[in-house]
Structure 1
Amino acid sequence: MTGENSVDVTAPTPFGARLHRSVQENGRILAGIDPHASLLEAWGLPDTPAGLAEFSRVALDAVAGQVAAIKPQSAFFERHGSAGVAVLEGLLAAARERGVLTILDVKRGDIGSTMGAYAQAHLLPGAPLEADAITVSPYLGTGSLDPAVQLALEHGKGLFVLALTSNPDGPQVQHALSAPDTPVALEIARHAERIGAGDPGEWGSVGLVVGATVGDAYRRLGLDRAAPSVPLLAPGFGAQGAGPAEMSEVFGENAGHVLISLSRGILSQGPDPERLSHIVGQLRDEYSARP
């Protein structure tokens, strides 16, 4: 109902739907913008906030319109203190102005009001460090994510929950049983599907982080069946060894939900923006299976 004193409130488009549309239009590459000191040196830039700013500007210019989203790693900006965080703030704002989705890799995980404050820092519209989605850690219990889940779904934002990481020690926790016959990673996948499922035919807004180098664990532990609608943020491609073959070998029938996270595989081709743009186009074609 509308009236003279009514307010027309339009619900935001869910993040999962926006991400799915971006993949359909721009391919499935996620461009990591990670200003390692070695990359800055290779680009002929100083390891300073000014160097970070130039690095971020060139990288965004090169990938805009060719990738599903950018994925800045917050730590490489935070190491420069407030000046580095200001560069990250500028990068997120510039991407938003250009209509480029942002997934901020911060891996936040805490409880209660602290988790709520992390969520407000990154998921609240108008926040200085606002992103379209963030990575989060569920290893204080899946319920610890509730403040971030509530804020994300309210404002059309998204979360990517760590489930099966590619580091060698990950299975100590992720493959362990949280209940009889229920690996921790499987419980996390079920939770992501339950809280973030989208409309029929759409992706959910709460995805999983699953490394492309985890072998058969994603399917063997049952995550594919437990969470069929979630997007899958998959590090491990390129410099870490995984390639197009791992799309089906690791993710099976859910390969169409995989987001190919690449950082060094793109950024090592800089600083020439035309070269960067060219390599992104090549990689997009290489991983061209449609969702």
Structure 2
Amino acid sequence: MTDDPTSPGPGSHAAPQRFGLRLTEALGRHGPVCVGLDPHRELMQDWGLPDTAAGVAEFCSVVLDAAAGRCAAVKPQSAFFERHGAAGVAVLEDVLRGCRDRGLLTVLDVKRGDIGSTMAGYAQAYLDDDAPLAADAVTLSPYLGYGALRPALDLARSTGRGVFVLVRTSNPEGGQVQSAGRPSVAQQLLQEVGADNAGQAPCGDVGVVVGATLDPAAEGLDLAGSLAPVLAPGVGAQGADEHDVVRAFGGAAGRVLVPVSRGVLREGPEGVASALERWTRRLAGALGDG
């Protein structure tokens, strides 16, 4: 068996299953929770672990064991691994491999965005079958132009992977750029995403990042029509809850992935599993009722 579940088996020439379909299946089995892996310095101290690559590896092992079978996906924040240099990146490689071994989808939060051969290099780093840092999906920044993301979009499609494009983020500063213009930058980006997802019902492979603290409909964002999977940060520490998720994303309920980091990780190593179960009940119940 190959190390990467998106790759065809030995002697097989079958195309890999699309990310959007794999995500839909995972959401149906486990609900919308995506546990964020954010091993920052303060959290490591709270867990009683050294703020080193070895400490991060121990932290991640505990969280992944708790996440297996309890949530749809894991979202490692690359910055918290990169700050430990080569040793930290090696831990990230192990984390991505560990997720595959446990049947967990990965959304690698790298927010890359560039042009030409540099964008192609980022794509090869995270979306190529043979890449040590290959993930099921990555986050991308489109603010050098959506078309500049094409190397990543094309490689993701050919390898059965996905991307999540920053469209309308949960941080207060985001609106200055993302809501500018008529139509807004966010609306134009969503139109581009929808064009790439055309014909990929029930769920496309090009997703969007839209904050759960916002009101997408009030901003003219047609999430349902875009067929885009939605990565919806802002739940928990940023103030949004399951009712905000339903209000914002009820029309795309089967395609919503909700990252929860601090609300789970602050429970410590003994409480991660039960915290994941609580958030899954809250979010899945609310979206089901919505």
User: TM-score of the superposition, structure 1-length normalised?
Assistant: 0.91
Which residue type is aligned with residue 282 of structure 2?
E
Contact kept in structure 1, 2:24 and 2:254, CA below 8 Å? no
Which segment is superposed worse, 279-288 or 149-158? 279-288
Contact kept in structure 1, 2:212 and 2:234, CA below 8 Å? yes
After superposition, the C-alpha distances for 1:21-60 in whole angstroms (9 at most, x for unaligned) are 0000011000001101111111110000110000010010
Per-residue deviation, 1:226: 7.1
Per-residue deviation, 1:278: 1.2
Query: SS at 2:195's partner residue?
Result: helix
Contact kept in structure 1, 2:193 and 2:228, CA below 8 Å? yes
Structure 1 unaligned regions, length at least 5: 1-6
User: TM-score of the superposition, structure 2-length normalised?
Assistant: 0.92
Of residues 237, 240, 247 in structure 2, which corresponds to 1:239?
A: 237
Task: Specify the alignment match of 2:213 in structure 1.
Answer: 213
Contact kept in structure 2, 1:189 and 1:227, CA below 8 Å? no
Shift in CA distance, 161/143, structure 1 to aligned 2, threshold 3 Å? same
Per-residue deviation, 1:128: 0.6
Task: Name which one, 1 or 2, has greater alpha-carbon Rg.
Answer: 1
Percent identical among aligned pairs is 52
Task: Specify the alignment match of 1:47 in structure 2.
Answer: 51
Contact kept in structure 2, 1:190 and 1:226, CA below 8 Å? no
Of residues 136, 159, 162 in structure 1, which corresponds to 2:163?
A: 159
User: What is the correspondence of 1:253-272 to structure 2 with a 5 Å cutoff?
Assistant: 253-272=251-270
Cα distance in 1 for residues equivalent to 2:240 and 2:254: 16
Per-residue deviation, 1:280: 0.7
Which residue type is aligned with residue 211 of structure 1?
G
Cα distance in 1 for residues equivalent to 2:250 and 2:130: 39
Contact kept in structure 2, 1:197 and 1:203, CA below 8 Å? no
Task: Specify the alignment match of 2:283 in structure 1.
Answer: 287
Of residues 41, 66, 69 in structure 1, which corresponds to 2:70?
A: 66
Residue 279 (structure 2) pairs with residue 278 (structure 1):
no
Per-residue deviation, 1:243: 0.4
Task: Specify the alignment match of 1:222 in structure 2.
Answer: 220
Q: How many residues align?
A: 277
Per-residue deviation, 1:147: 0.1
Cα distance in 1 for residues equivalent to 2:83 and 2:280: 31
Residue 30 (structure 2) pairs with residue 26 (structure 1):
yes
Query: SS at 1:277's partner residue?
Result: helix
Contact kept in structure 1, 2:200 and 2:227, CA below 8 Å? no
Contact kept in structure 1, 2:178 and 2:184, CA below 8 Å? yes
Cα distance in 2 for residues equivalent to 1:252 and 1:176: 25
Two-structure CA RMSD over aligned residues (Å): 1.5
Contact kept in structure 1, 2:40 and 2:80, CA below 8 Å? yes
